[in-house]
Amino acid sequence: MSSGAPPLVLLAAGGTGGHLFPAEALAVALNKRGVTVDLATDHRAAHYKFPARNVHLIPSATVRGRNPIALAKTGVLLALGIAKAWTLIGRIRPAVVVGFGGYPTVPPLLAASLRSVPTVLHEQNGVMGRANRALASRVTAIATSFPKLTRVDPRLQGKITFTGNPVRPVVIEASHVPYAAPALNEKIRLLVFGGSQGARVMSEIVPKAFERIPVALLVRLSVTQQARAEDIADVEGAYAKLGVAAEVAAFFSDLPARIAGAHLVIARSGASTVAELSAIGRPSILVPLPHALDQDQFHNAGVLQEAGGAIRIEQRDFTPERLAAEITRLAADPAQLSRMAEAAKSAGATDAAERLADLVMKVAGL
């Protein structure tokens, strides 16, 4: 970096929304401070419109299982990624490298550590993931989304700063919409989504739950639901048969605005989902993704449940009967919905991007 040039920060994030969204929010905050941002990511994010000067694709792979051949391939890809990241960091000379979790962040952060470049690791979930645990002892600082972080070495406590999980500007805009619980004779707007890994169970359970809701309540319900492309026709048909107003699509580009417009959200509990629900302040029924090794979604949902902003239902208990009972109960108690919305918002942090930017600038000595 030439003398007098704006400082450069390299962000490293895997190509999923859970990692890219907070990285995007930090990039916006840093850009406002006159900092140039580059992104290191994997092929999944190659076409994502990210507010960076340059996007660099770094080879990486997730460690899955113990198959020797698969582990060998993963090792080769990680080694190639570290070599490419080493070269990249030597060429662009960032003031600091910031990682947002997942195995695609391992090569850039390891290469930065080997080159003695300051590093910041951001953990989006309430439990530290495997990749972040592997990196935690090497990084300069660790930022967390939640005040409490589990599965972290007590010796690392001195590195940890609670910043919150950065949310995008569109989420901050949606957070200004006040919550108004539906009166007992008004329409109730439900929003249902589950991400690429979770939409199937929502398609299987939610329409069947509506079949068990009393007719007097059913006529008040309208639903917006994300569903896999192969499930859309069945989901639409189920709602049409019940006479329920429904909008069903595989993807909603304006999801934060739809969260703000909902009276009740039914969703998975990925880090970005929980961050957006709490920033905007909407009551929710959260169904953590089961079988995850780190049980991160279970912990994330637990944070909102403990705050009083959500009802956590494990997938084994997420039956049409249980969901119908919860919807019926909440619809009959607008005051409870309002309390949940307020509690969710109290757990949110719309200034998390600025707080994380403060930490990044400090670590970089800027």
CATH number at residue 60: 3.40.50.2000
Shared-domain flag, residues 26 and 104? yes
Q: How many domains are contained in the chain? A: 2
State whether 80 and 186 are in the same domain: no
Q: 161 and 27: one domain?
A: yes
The answer to whether residues 83 and 192 belong to one domain is no
Q: Please tell me whether residues 119 and 260 are part of one structural domain.
A: no
DSSP symbol at 126 = S
| Listed residue (203, 297, 287) closest to 246, CA to CA | 203
In a domain, 3, yes or no: no
Both 333 and 193 in a single domain?
yes
Q: In whole angstroms, how far apart are CA 283 and each of 152, 180, 191, 286?
A: 30, 11, 11, 10
How far is it, in rounded angstroms, from Cα 323 to Cα 313? 9
Establish if 124 belongs to a structural domain. Answer: yes
Question: Which structural domain range is residue 228 located in?
Answer: 173-346
Q: pTM of the prediction?
A: 0.89
Report the distance separating Cα 258 and Cα 171, nearest Å: 10
Are residues 183 and 256 located together in one domain of the fold? yes
Residue 213 lies in a domain: yes
In terms of domains, do 20 and 157 share one? Answer: yes
Any bridge partners for residue 12, and if so which?
Answer: 40, 99
Q: Are residues 72 and 211 in the same domain?
A: no
Domain membership of residue 2 (yes or no) is no
In a domain, 42, yes or no: yes
Domain for residue 1, yes or no? Answer: no
Q: Which helix (H) or strand (E) holds 12?
A: strand 8-12
Residue 59 lies in a domain: yes
**Residues 21 and 111 placed together within one structural domain of the fold:** yes
Backbone φ/ψ region at 343: left (φ over 0), alpha (ψ -120 to 50), beta? alpha
Query: Within a domain: residue 263?
Result: yes
Please check whether residues 192 and 313 belong to one and the same domain: yes
Q: Based on the fold, state whether residues 340 and 355 are members of the same structural domain.
A: no
Q: pLDDT tens string for the chain (366 positions)?
A: 445 789 999 999 987 778 899 999 999 999 999 999 999 998 887 778 899 999 999 977 666 667 777 777 777 888 899 999 999 999 999 999 999 987 889 999 999 999 999 999 999 998 888 888 889 999 999 999 998 887 788 888 899 999 999 999 999 999 999 999 999 999 999 999 997 666 799 999 999 999 999 999 999 999 999 999 999 999 999 999 999 999 999 999 999 999 999 999 999 999 999 999 999 999 999 999 998 767 899 999 999 999 999 999 999 999 999 999 999 999 999 999 999 999 999 998 899 999 999 999 999 999
